[in-house]
Amino acid sequence: MSDPIVILTEEPLGADDRVNIQRLVDGSDTRLVLLVPANTERHLLVDFLENLSMLDVAKAFRDLTAHAPDPSAERAEAAETLAVSLAALAGLGGGVTGEVVDGGAVSGLVAKVKEIGASQAVVITRPHAVADTFHTDWANKAQDQLGLPVLHLYAGSGFIGDS
């Protein structure tokens, strides 16, 4: 049996993501462990600049006036993301398990990789212009902490982030 692969995602995975992970597993019996953070730890200024960079001016200003998210609502959303993602990856490799991670997303990924002795980590996010540009995205942070390559994929596409 191959070493497990830990996957961290902030987005519900779909058919395109399944194809990407299927290519990564390449018919082996690799066990997949999926992590979804309960809180994505976004920052107001970064989100504002990111929305502007994606030309989503309405969302940029709407997010400025939004109230602090409710932790139980965030956890419920993470649980739904996990359920959808597990269904999307069902049948790949040697099986897929998953959990909602409390605390920091990157620290949860690093802890799980070390706990199960994974040899690979994958981060699947939507593009984050500011974080990706300044290498402060989850994949770069995890790679710095783990000392092993972390594959950064953009959700719903075949595009690879720069980590």
CA distances to 7, 17, 32, 55, 115 from 1, in Å? 18, 23, 12, 46, 17
Please give the tally of structural domains in the chain.
1
Domain that holds residue 130: 5-41+76-154
* Residue 160 within any structural domain of the chain: no
What per-residue confidence (pLDDT) applies to 97? 96
* Residue 30 within any structural domain of the chain: yes
Pairing status of strand 32-37 against strand 96-101: parallel
What per-residue confidence (pLDDT) applies to 163? 44
* Residue 59 within any structural domain of the chain: no
With a CB cutoff of 8 Å and minimum separation 6, the contacts of 34 are 7, 9, 13, 82, 85, 86, 89, 96, 97, 98, 99
CB neighbours of residue 106 within 10 Å: 24
* Residue 51 within any structural domain of the chain: no
* Residue 54 within any structural domain of the chain: no
Return the CATH number at 93: 3.40.50.620
* Residue 141 within any structural domain of the chain: yes
* Residue 93 within any structural domain of the chain: yes
Per-residue pLDDT of the chain (163 residues; tens, 9 = 90+): 578 999 999 889 999 999 999 998 988 899 999 999 997 665 555 565 666 666 666 766 666 666 566 778 888 998 999 999 999 999 998 899 999 999 888 899 999 999 999 989 998 887 655 455 444 577 888 888 988 888 888 887 765 655 4
* Residue 162 within any structural domain of the chain: no
Q: What is the pTM of this model?
A: 0.79
Cα gap 56→78, rounded to integer Å: 24
What per-residue confidence (pLDDT) applies to 41? 61
